[in-house]
Structure 1
Amino acid sequence: MRLATIATGLFFACTSFAAAESYQTPQALLEAFYEPYFSGDFADDESQFRSEALQSLYDNDAQNTPEGEMGALGFDPYIDGQDFDITDLEIHTPDISGEEATVEVTFKNFDQPRTLVYDLVNENGWKIDDVASTSPDNVYRLSEIFAEAAGE
């Protein structure tokens, strides 16, 4: 019984630590963020990867979307598509200025080249603040998609 209590305590301590992961470099954040696209092990809650501002956009969209309806996003903005078969992922060297960074990420999705530019902020660890696609066939900025859906 005592062993079970210790094991349970260790489990919760480890899972709490994992949920509160702090990414010390932009590279570490984006590597962890893209890992599920290869392993298939997606978290139910991706808020650990988002800045307060970006999380607020997601929360606002969820609050303003009627139940059973699709919100602002009809695709996954982090792979520039609905489905994925990611290959050749490259996280380029970040351009860091104080508590902000810009990082270009390139990959192929179903053999189609994609380029995304991430805006990151350091909020007790690096977080995604926005992302933009510069792929010629689908140019967008995530924050603008949310703003348009909100009627701003």
Structure 2
Amino acid sequence: MRKLALSSSLFVVLTAAALAQPYATPEDLLTAFYEPYFTGDFAEDDSPFRSKALNQLYAEDEKYTPPGEMGAISADPYIDGQDFLLTNFRVGEPIITDQTAVVDVYFENFDRPTTITYDLVFEDGGWKIDDVSSEGGDYAYRLTEIFEEARQSW
């Protein structure tokens, strides 16, 4: 029983350490971020991938959303949908300017070609997701604008 508890504790510590590691390149960050979409091993908390500013928006949305209600986000902005079966995943060439980068991620979701654009920031020694947008699919969106629209109703 002690071995099981120790193994479980070690797994949690190692998983948290893997999530908390700084990502040296935009490609490293986005490849690690999308890995759970292929493995099914989603962490309970993906905030280590996000910038302080984006995490603040998520926290505000949670704070001001009434219990039992849906927050500002009604679909997964990282796949431009709700359900997923991703194939042909590829991270584009980042455009890096000082402490920021813009990079496209390409994949097919249920055979639908999808492009997601990431605004990244170099923060706390590594790259973090600062915003996400998509011009494809049924609706064009920018994640920070979704939160801003929700903020108007708080």
TM-score above 0.5: yes
Residue identity matched to 2:67: E
Could you list the structure 1 runs, at least 4 aligned residues long, displaced by more than 4 angstroms after superposition.
Answer: 6-13
Q: Name the CA distance, whole Å, in 2 between partners of 1:114 and 1:72.
A: 22
Unaligned runs of 5+ in 2: none
Q: Do structure 1's residue 26 and structure 2's residue 14 form an aligned pair?
A: no
Question: In the alignment, what sits opposite 1:141?
Answer: 142
Give a deviation string over 1:14-60, Cα, whole Å, max 9, x none. Answer: 34522421111000000000000000000000001000000000000
Question: In structure 2, what is the equivalent of residue 70 of structure 1?
Answer: 70
Q: Kindly report the root-mean-square deviation, in angstroms, between the aligned alpha carbons of the 2 structures.
A: 2.3
Asked if the contact 2:19–2:49 (Cα under 8 Å) also holds between the matched residues in 1, the reply is: no
Query: CA separation of 1:32/1:120 partners in 2, compared to 1, >3 Å: closer, same or farther?
Result: same
**Overall identity of the aligned pairs, in %:** 54
- The answer for the alignment partner of 1:45 in structure 2 is 45
Residue 82 of structure 1 is matched in structure 2 by 82
Q: 2-side partners of 1:41 and 1:110: how far apart?
A: 20
Tell whether 2:111 aligns with 1:111.
Answer: yes
Cα distance change, pair 34–10 in 1 and its aligned pair in 2 (3 A): closer
Partners of 1:106 and 1:35 in 2: how far apart? Answer: 14
Q: Residue in 1 aligned with 2:128? A: 127
Gaps in structure 1 of 5+ consecutive residues: none
Distance in 2, Cα, partners of 1:119 & 1:23: 15
How high is the TM-score relative to the length of structure 1? 0.89
